Amino acid sequence: MSEQHSLPPLPYADNALDPVISANTLGFHYGKHHRGYVDNLNKLVAGTEYAGLSLEKIIAATAGRPEKTAIFNNAAQAWNHTFYWHSLKPNGGGEPPAVLKQKIEAAFGNVDGCRKELAAAATSQFGSGWAWLVLDGDTLKAVKTGNAGLPLTMGMKPLLTIDVWEHAYYLDYQNRRADYVNGVLEKLINWDFAAANLG
Ligand code: MN
């Protein structure tokens, strides 16, 4: 039997992002939603050509194939959530490391311009999805994807992400997605993770 995908541990305690993201939200989001994608994926790939493949390989092999949508969605959501947890940290926000800041200034003018573009992507995504800071060629961009979509299948390198599915904020903010997004950008965003992903 090939190895199953496992739910990676959260990089912090479930109350570490409070009050921007409550322990209640984080507990459901990680323990129910993220775990659900991993469990569903394991069921869907058991006994198929995808069993034992990495998430990245499954995502690449199933993207854009309507008959593989369920496998793609669960693999991509498993990947996106792990990337999201690392895109946040307690006492995040503030100023990015110099190497990232230079690229931000080249693309957005300044760090505040970058935050505004990310907030615009996050709040304008219609329905469920994700906002991303990506490297497109050598240029930083703020982009959005719907549902399980991710930049890996669009030829772009993700640096950080913000989950804008309602399950990411509804317990804490109800319909006020912008308040959640601005709180994340000001107090939780992990610029060190984004800089490390410049690679
Ligand atoms: Mn989510």
CA distances to 12, 149, 161, 166, 168 from 69, in Å: 32, 11, 22, 21, 22
Among 167, 159, 147, CA closest to 197: 159
Place of tokens 């300044």: 110
Ligand 1 center from residue 3 Cα (angstroms):
24
Q: What is the pLDDT of residues 1-51, one digit of tens each?
A: 557 999 999 999 999 999 999 999 999 999 999 999 999 999 999 999 999
Which domains, and CATH codes, for the chain? 23-87 (1.10.287.990), 98-197 (3.55.40.20)
- DSSP 8-state code for residue 14: T
CA distances to 33, 54, 132, 133, 136 from 195, in Å: 27, 24, 14, 11, 15
Residues with CB under 5 A from ligand 1 (ion): 163, 165
pTM flag (> 0.75): yes
Ligand 1 center from residue 168 Cα (angstroms):
5
Q: Which residue has the higher pLDDT, 156 or 2?
A: 156
Q: What is the pLDDT of residues 111-131, one digit of tens each?
A: 999 999 999 999 999 999 999
Is residue 42 within 8 A of residue 4, CB to CB? The reply is yes
